[in-house]
Structure 1
Amino acid sequence: MIRPVSPRRPAFRVTAATAAAITALLAGCSAGAGTPGGTPSRTGAEPPSAARLTHVLPGDPVRMVLPATGAETRWTQGLDAFGQQVAHIVSADCASERGAGLPDGPPPAFIRLSELPDLDFLARHGFSRSADLPAPEASPTAPGTGDPAAVRHCQDEGRAAAERLRGAYAPLQGRWFRELASLRGDPAAARALRGLPGCLAGHGIEVGDEDGFFALADTRLNSAAPAERPRVDRELGRAYASCMRPVEAVREPARLRMREDFLAEHADEVRELRRTLVPALRRAEERYGPRLSFPAP
């Protein structure tokens, strides 16, 4: 199932220890060689299609944990979604053993990041669509039934399993996202961003800044008839992607330089991450069942 996503910047889902340090996020950036799914057409003329899944890992897991481009965030989204799937599976198995049913809730899904907008993905799919994750197996017990204490215990078990998996990378990732937030004050990026309203005006979108764009996008999507909403969404995505490319042309090289410095400053942790992360993920695949997957245009 594709879960609609508001064009407002969704929150990046990480561990509780790092969540307070990471602000609201968005999506997008140009894809290139070596990124999940390659580079889609930029003409905007192709018919709408669902995003695909890929299972190809980056050559260096650093790009999955410490993304510096929007295209790399597809790996980051997959890593986060895998943790969600593990939590769901462990909780559901625990509840089934106790004859309980977990409450209804949103299924595991890819959550986009801001700070690193994936412009090629947005240009093709808009703000409300991503790739489908395999639907979790239905519980044999009706949702919300059984001993509430048992349900809470099973939910805690699921969260603990996901946190054990994330423990290999979440502390380092949290520090990286705090580093990325500092780029908001970069003068060159701020100058490029000031050109956004004029560019959007050329697409018939009259707003004063980026936040104004998201407010207007919310209004247009919420007021569009259901049959028209996909078209409106793609038009908004194409306009935003086109006008943000000059901004990303400044910010992306800066982020790549920041990552090189970050890797040098945390060399021991990075070396351990490269040694242990992928084997840990493969073990989790074997133990829990879901396959590590990433959105691809």
Structure 2
Amino acid sequence: MFRRPVLVRAALAVAVALLGTACSTDAARRPGPPAATVAPARLGRALPADPVRMVLPATGAETRWTQGLYVFGQQVTRIAAADCARRGGFAVPAQAPLAFIRFFALPDLDFVARHGLSTSADVPAAATAPSTARVGSAAQVRRCQAQGTKAAAALSDLYLPLEQRWFGELGAVDSSPATVRARRGLPGCLAGHGTPAKDERAFMGVADARQQAAAPADLPATERAMGRVYADCMRPVEAVRDPARLNLRARFLADHAAEVRTLRRRLVPALRAAEKRYGVTLVFPEP
């Protein structure tokens, strides 16, 4: 069972104070006028010093590496499938562009506050030669897609089993008494921003409705305004959860020491080899 450490209790005290000052005394506050145009999110290439932070994220900022890792696997899948089709003299069907997908179980509040709830950096298009070949038959396409999946699995098999166990452990932080208490201030804070919602799920529904109703020219500013509200009201919660997740990860690493050693030894060389083989660069969204 998850045990709440001293550090989490201290963070909770800070969270309660923040909720009291940010949400009670400013109950009439509303999202301010849109800020000046924000520069688009960037792409970064620097890997963390410890690949554990990319595979087993404990904070919202660390999930930027996780998002990049997931997109990289999808790029490898598509490129390997396209290479298979090219060798067979046909093409695979066109697919929707890839996108970095946020982990709201570990919200990246600085990114959300700057760019909104969904906007991120654009995923670079793969540098593949255009094909004029016909689209292959269903059987041909399935065969090449299977090869693409196999190519990506050569990477994900190095980290996915450990990562799945890690994400399974995170529920202990969300259900801890400290997190539950910190979340109690969320409805009042959201209401103080003119966004009545009882919890995160309800807030996302309100945000979606407002963005759907916004004129196209107003949509970026509306999304950023909702992102600022979410980030402001979730900071007291993350002040509790971030240190709790970091402590939990330290114990997780100790409990899975042999697998972690293998991950640290093999993952980065495998990623660099895949970059060379498939001609795609591992990149990450940055605010």
Give the TM-score band, short-chain normalised.
Answer: 0.7 to 0.9
Q: 1:12: which partner in 2? A: none
Q: Which moved more, 1:191-200 or 1:259-268?
A: 191-200
Rounded to whole Å, the distance in 2 between the matches of 1:223 and 1:48 is 22
For residue 286 of structure 2, what is the amino acid of its counterpart? A
SS, match of residue 253 in structure 1: helix
Write the deviation string for residues 96-126 of structure 1: whole angstroms up to 9, x where unpaired. Answer: 2223222232223212112210000000000
Aligned residue identity for 1:140:
S
Code of the aligned partner of 1:220? R
Report the equivalent of 1:63.
53
Aligned to 2:131: 140
Q: 1:174 aligns with which of 140, 164, 188?
A: 164
Cα deviation for residue 81 of structure 1 reads 0.8
Identify which of 212, 233, 247 aligns with 1:243.
233
Deviation at 1:242, TM superposition (A): 0.5
- 1:7-22 matches, within 5 Å, as none
| Per-residue CA distance 1:55-86 (angstroms, 9 max, x = gap) | 00101111011000000000111111110110
- Give me the TM-score of the superposition, normalised by structure 1: 0.82
SS state at 1:123 partner: helix
SS of equivalent residue, structure 1 residue 291 = coil
In 1, Cα distance between equivalents of 2:151 and 2:98: 15
State the Cα deviation string for residues 139-192 of structure 1 (Å, max 9, x = none).
Answer: 40367x222211111111111111111111110001000001222211110111
Q: Which amino acid aligns with 2:205?
A: A
Q: For 1:71 and 1:172, how far apart are their aligned partners in 2?
A: 20
Runs ≥4 residues deviating over 3 A: none
Aligned length: 254
Distance 1:184 1:159 in 2: 33
Distance in 1 (CA, whole Å) between partners of 2:255 and 2:202 is: 37
How far residue 240 of structure 1 moved from its aligned partner, in angstroms, is 0.2
What per-residue deviation string (whole Å, max 9, x for no partner) do you get for residues 181-207 of structure 1? 222211110111111111111211111
Where structure 1 has 5 or more consecutive residues not aligned to the other structure, the ranges are 1-43
Residue aligning to 2:153 = 163
Alignment of 1:222-241 (within 5 A): 222-241=212-231
Is 1:50 aligned with 2:40?
Answer: yes
Question: Secondary structure of the residue that 1:228 maps to in structure 2?
Answer: helix
Answer 1 or 2: higher relative contact order, Cα 8 Å, separation at least 6: 2
CA contact (8 A) 1:285 1:292 kept: yes
For residues 124 and 74 of structure 1, the distance between their equivalents in structure 2, rounded to whole angstroms, comes to 14
Structure 1 contact 77–110 (Cα < 8 Å) conserved: yes
Identity score, percent? 60
Tell me the TM-score normalized by structure 2: 0.85
Q: Which residue of 2 aligns with 1:217?
A: 207
- Bigger radius of gyration among the two: 2
Q: Give deviations 1:219-251, integer Å, cap 9, x for gaps.
A: 111111111111110000000001000000000
> CA 1:251–1:96 in 2, change beyond 3 Å: closer, same or farther?
same
Correspondence for 1:102: 92
- How many Å apart are 1:46 and its aligned residue? 5.0
Instruction: Decide which moves more: 101-110 or 260-269.
Output: 101-110
* Larger helix proportion of the pair: 2
Mapped partners of 1:90, 1:147: distance in 2: 17
Partner secondary structure for residue 227 of structure 1 = helix
Are positions 1:287 and 2:287 aligned together?
Answer: no
Code of the residue aligned with 1:58 in structure 2: it is P
* Residue aligning to 2:255: 265
